[in-house]
Amino acid sequence: MRFDLPTPGFSFELLATLGHARAGILHTPRGDIETPVFMPVGTAGTVKAMTADELRAPPLDAKIILGNTYHLFLRPGMEVMSIAGGLHRFAAWDRPILTDSGGFQVFSLAALGEIDDDGVTFRSHIDGTKHRLTPEISMDIQRVLGSDIAMCFDQCPPGDADAATHEVALARTTAWAKRCRVAPHAPGQAVFGIVQGGIDTQRRLRHMDEITALDFDGYALGGLAVGEQLADTYRILDQVAHRLPAERPRYLMGVGTPQDLETAIAAGIDMFDCVMPTRNARNGYLFTRSGPRVNIPNAANRTDLGPIDPDCPCATCRTHSRAYLRHLYLAKEILYARLATLHNLTFYACHVRAIRDRILAEGERA
Amino acid sequence: MRFDLPTPGFSFELLATLGHARAGILHTPRGDIETPVFMPVGTAGTVKAMTADELRAPPLDAKIILGNTYHLFLRPGMEVMSIAGGLHRFAAWDRPILTDSGGFQVFSLAALGEIDDDGVTFRSHIDGTKHRLTPEISMDIQRVLGSDIAMCFDQCPPGDADAATHEVALARTTAWAKRCRVAPHAPGQAVFGIVQGGIDTQRRLRHMDEITALDFDGYALGGLAVGEQLADTYRILDQVAHRLPAERPRYLMGVGTPQDLETAIAAGIDMFDCVMPTRNARNGYLFTRSGPRVNIPNAANRTDLGPIDPDCPCATCRTHSRAYLRHLYLAKEILYARLATLHNLTFYACHVRAIRDRILAEGERA
């Protein structure tokens, strides 16, 4: 079953379901994205340590990456991005890009100034300069970046926020979503709405109804994995994800571990992004198919001539030993970050692809 | 004309000469090295920021890289290197490697302890631990590393050393060269002697006679570009390089700028290594065929969508703009170091290859 999305050129094809889990294809003007999909995070115009060629090469074969509006807005700034003709050209990445709205970073990274119903004033975490983001400004930045999927500007309360804080944030997020829905966007740019509501199921479902009524191209769950208990995250996923519109892609923002992804896919999620594979790689944590994560500086790896993961098809595992990677890590060599990032991103890609294959093999044709 | 070198499996083929300049091929058991050649420096088991695949890929196509005995001896250390089966296997590099002797780093990087006629005691620049290098220990480390070309352990006085210091260093370097000549080395491992003597021509020539009498596979000029005036460097090159044995490869250690290489090749040098292209790249300095080096953080590059060098065949110049590179540099992105290093190393490779082509085209067949 193939569903046209509101934005011309975009459609979502549902191939199979297994319980709430779905396997499909998000068709975009810049290429097809097999779902479920993990999107590597390219914060500042680069997936850290990686070239576009490496991201595109199988077995990693990333079909879409994420760019951060907040970071790119501050540096290199919109004059450069505009002259460069958008983020694809600037970073020489020809496949789809999803940009977040900047909201999450304003609330987590920046020195927050006033927040009101119109928008947010904040100071840059780079140089302290004062800036303002509103739904219209966020959409305009994303228009200039030229991402294939833009996200609504939302307010994401912390995991321990009280009910009153949530209610204010929800009302604002809905009002801002309405403004984002009508703001100009780039040709061929889809827009996703974001459902907030913390870990209260009824609040989540109520907000879901408000946001889905606005008819976005896709829907995201925001405000999860922001400090709440994992059991609460999983409960919300179980109770909310499958209730999001079946004919639209569903995106869980900023999550998570390989287990989180598996749980969320079972709950009905199609798209993911997270800095975990890239950041963990740089910090010495490498994922393996069998057994726990490898902490590469551990003495056990000192003379270990085997790969990080003998079942991994990535160039790092096919070429290099744990002993070599440990040496590069301890010597603070740039090559370490490259090899480790390539491995962890390939691990995530293979992990999600294996789940997708299982849905296609064991599920019902949709 | 092809000359067998003392170590079986090695020969030096002289193809053409143009004045004192030479074009040739250094044949080694692990592959041929067209000379003149620039050897990228792989200090600690990696040419910083680069994979072996990138180094091997045309147009960079590095035929030989350098490894640092001092660094590898301290980290990962010889137990790891021995278990790994040597540097080629450890770093997954299948082409030739030249290792220095560790002498230069002991005198420049480490906290120097006592130096006597037997060897040098020093403290590690990493953790302050105390170590000792002698000619025999240096050769044994290089034997375990399994480099294709090992260098004699020598004493390199600073550029402003007085005559007495030079005389002590020369006598020691000759005595140590004799010990290196008879020390065990790895099968298929050539050994090069090092000529010291600072900027005094007669002293240089006298030491050259002492070292060349020992019949090494090749000869290096050490102790240049260590603080002396450039005119003195060039004078020594002009007066000494072409007097080194014509049937052996001639190696100028740790030099230098593109102009230095051109001058040294004209004087008769065949081989070079220097951290300049890699280190300059990381520090924001990028070489160009026309005009001065680019200082990438300069504001002039902010919205410049052109490449670093329009005539450069490297992937960086074929893919990315100055504006993007400047952004990555300012954002301290790892990708910057990769792209910049690839460009500068390609620049050096093309620079030396162009000079070689000119010698072949305009010179006399040898």
Q: Tell me if residue A273 is catalytic.
A: yes
Return the SS3 of B157.
coil
B72, B314, B324, B336, best to mutate vs chain A, most A CBs in 10 Å: B324
| Gap from B23 CA to chain A (nearest CA, Å) | 33
Known catalytic membership, residue A200: no
Burial of A42 (0-12, 13-18, 19+ CB in 10 A): buried
Contacting residues of B for A82, CB less than 8 Å apart: none
Q: Give the model's pLDDT for residue A301.
A: 98
CB-closest option in A50, A324, A334 to B48 = A334
Q: In this structure, are residues B269 and B252 in contact, taking their beta carbons and an 8 Å threshold?
A: yes
CA B104, B47, B68: angle at the middle one, nearest 5? Answer: 25
Residues of chain A positioned with their CB less than 8 A from the CB of B84: 303, 305, 321, 323-324
Give the integer Cα–Cα distance in Å for A75 and B336.
15
User: Considering only CB atoms, which chain A residues are within 8 Å of B92?
Assistant: 319-320, 324
Selecting from A75, A92, A324 the residue whose C-beta is nearest the C-beta of B90 gives A324
Residues of chain A where predicted confidence (pLDDT) is lower than 70: none
pTM, full prediction: 0.97
* 3-class SS of residue A32: strand
Instruction: Give the residue ranges of chain B where pLDDT is below 70.
Output: none
Contact: A331, B50; criterion CB under 8 Å: no
Among candidate residues B4, B100, B154, B304, the one labeled active-site is B100
State how far residue B130 is from chain A, nearest Cα, in angstroms.
19
Asked if B337 and A334 count as a contact pair (C-beta separation under 8 A), the reply is: yes
Structure tokens belonging to residue A44 = 């500042």
Q: Which of A32, A273, A304, A357 is catalytic?
A: A273
Q: Which residue out of B50, B51, B125, B329 would a mutagenesis test of the A interface target, given it has the greatest number of A Cβ atoms within 10 Å?
A: B51
Reduce the DSSP state of residue B295 to 3 states and report it: strand
CA distance A328 to B64: 20
> Taking the CB of residue A354, how many other CB atoms lie within 10 A of it?
11
Q: Distance between CA B284 and CA B300 in Å, rounded?
A: 14
Condensed to tens digits (0 to 9), the pLDDT of residues A103-127 reads 888 888 777 778 899 999 999 989 9
Query: B137-168: string of b/e by CB count within 10 Å (b at 16+)?
Result: bbbbbbbbbbbbbbbbbbbbbebebeeeebee
Residues of B with CB under 8 A from a CB of A: 44-46, 48-53, 75-76, 79-80, 83-84, 90-92, 302-303, 305, 315, 319-321, 323-324, 326-328, 330-331, 333-335, 337-339
Out of A100, A154, A217, A270, the active site residue is A100
Instruction: Classify residue A321 by its DSSP letter.
Output: -
Token pair 């049937």: residue: B247
Q: What is the ipTM of this complex?
A: 0.97
Q: At what angle do helices B334-362 and A334-362 cross, to 10 degrees?
A: 110
How far is residue B232 from each of residues B165, B201, B215, B223, B224, measured CA to CA in Å? Answer: 18, 10, 28, 12, 9
